[in-house]
Amino acid sequence: MIDARRFGRFAEPARLVLVALRDGPRTVALLFDDVRSLDGPVGPGTLYAAIARLERRGLIEAARNGEGRPGYRLGEAGTAPGGTQG
Amino acid sequence: MKALVRLYPRAWRDRYEAEVIDLLDQRRPSFRDALDLVVGAVDAHLHPQVGSAVIPWTWRLPGLAVLAVGATWIAATVAVYASGSSSLSGTFLGLSLLAMTVGLPGDYAIRRGRAILAVVGLIAAGVVVAQIAPYPVAVVIAVATVVLFLAGALALAAVRAEIGSTARWALVVGTTIVPALALIPFALGLLAIDPPVLTIRWLLLPYGAAWILLGLRLVVRGSQSIVDPPTGVETALVTAPGRSA
């Protein structure tokens, strides 16, 4: 699902974002923590480079929790078979 | 730390700035995170994911030219420090000043670079005043001739870039004449670098570094170059709905 050529060095962080969202929507802060727990010291710049690429391709989409905090959930393309398989 | 988000393209900020600031509020960022934001900003300029911005490669040319200016200027400065010789370093400085005049297309000068060009002019004027006094009138005439040539070329560049009014592109020419004035005596080796330039050498390295920073900014942002078609290009660079770059 993630084209390594298009995602470049952000392919792995992008894959981990998809993995983190597989269990349900996350606020940005929780997503940040999850990705860091999976891949070490991923910074906010790397996280958002991955998010922008995923969102552009419909793999994730923006969401807000009950408190209005921004977050993300899997998009239609991301929930398709193989969508989080990297 | 939040100020680093301003390094990102406008379209990107329109979409993600609030989220990133919210994240930085919730998770105390480290120095490494700050560096990561800077790298992410460079990526966002080079590989825009938001909006439809596709920057033609020719828009990188002005930035590359300005980068060359800064590198040449620093090389000249190092030559001055290392050898104290005026001839070689004078040529470097001359080439650098020439590149300054041709590296800035008219549209850039008008839209983004007036203050910078004014600083360039002031510094170069100081160099000229320090150097030109003892030399004969013939040199001044030769300089003036070349300046007219350069000014004409710049005026053409300004016209190609469709600078709106005569007064505006006259400003382009005016703000670049002084650097051009400093060019010829150095390039021809007619004027010595020492000692006047050495007395202001503390200005030289930061000056070159400033041009390199300007060049980097131009490279990542892109700027219409004088080889681009003169009309309709910049307005086509839409970076977000309802907003143009």
The per-residue pLDDT of chain B, averaged, comes to 63
User: How big is the A-B interface in CB pairs under 8 Å?
Assistant: 64
> Which of A48, A55, A69 has the highest number of chain B CBs within 10 A, making it the mutation to test binding with B?
A48
Give me the residue label for tokens 């680093």.
Answer: B4
Reported as type and span, the H/E element at residue A61 is strand A60-64
φ, ψ dihedrals at B81, nearest 5°: -65, -45
Tens of pLDDT, residues B122-161: 555 555 554 554 544 445 545 545 555 555 555 555 455 5
Model confidence at B37, pLDDT cuts 50, 70, 90, reads: very high
| Chain B residues touching A70 at Cβ < 8 A | 18-19, 22
Query: Of B173, B164, B165, which is closest to residue B105 (Cα–Cα)?
Result: B173
Q: CB-CB: which of A42, A56, A70 is closest to B19?
A: A70
Which whole-number Å values give the CA distances from A45 to B137, B179, B213, in the listed order?
58, 39, 21
Residue type, B225: S
Considering chain A, what is the average pLDDT of its residues? 84
pLDDT of amino acid B201: 56
Domain limits, chain B: 2-51, 58-221
Contacts of B27 in chain A (CB under 8 A): 29, 32-33
Kindly tell me if the per-residue pLDDT of A25 is higher than 70.
yes
Mark yes or no for CB contact A69/B22 under 8 Å.
Answer: yes
Contacts of B47 in chain A (CB under 8 A): 8
**pTM for this entry:** 0.47
Tell me the pLDDT tens digit for each residue of B152-200.
555 555 455 554 445 545 544 554 555 555 555 555 555 555 544 445 5
Alpha-carbon radius of gyration of chain B: 21
Q: What is the DSSP string of B80-97?
A: HHHH--SHHHHHHHHHHH
**A29, A48, A69 ranked by CB distance to B27: nearest:** A29
Whether B150 and B101 have beta carbons less than 8 Å apart is answered as yes
Q: How far apart are CA A14 and CA A4, in angstroms?
A: 10
Mean pLDDT of B55-82: 73
By Cβ distance, the residue of B16, B26, B49 closest to A53 is B49
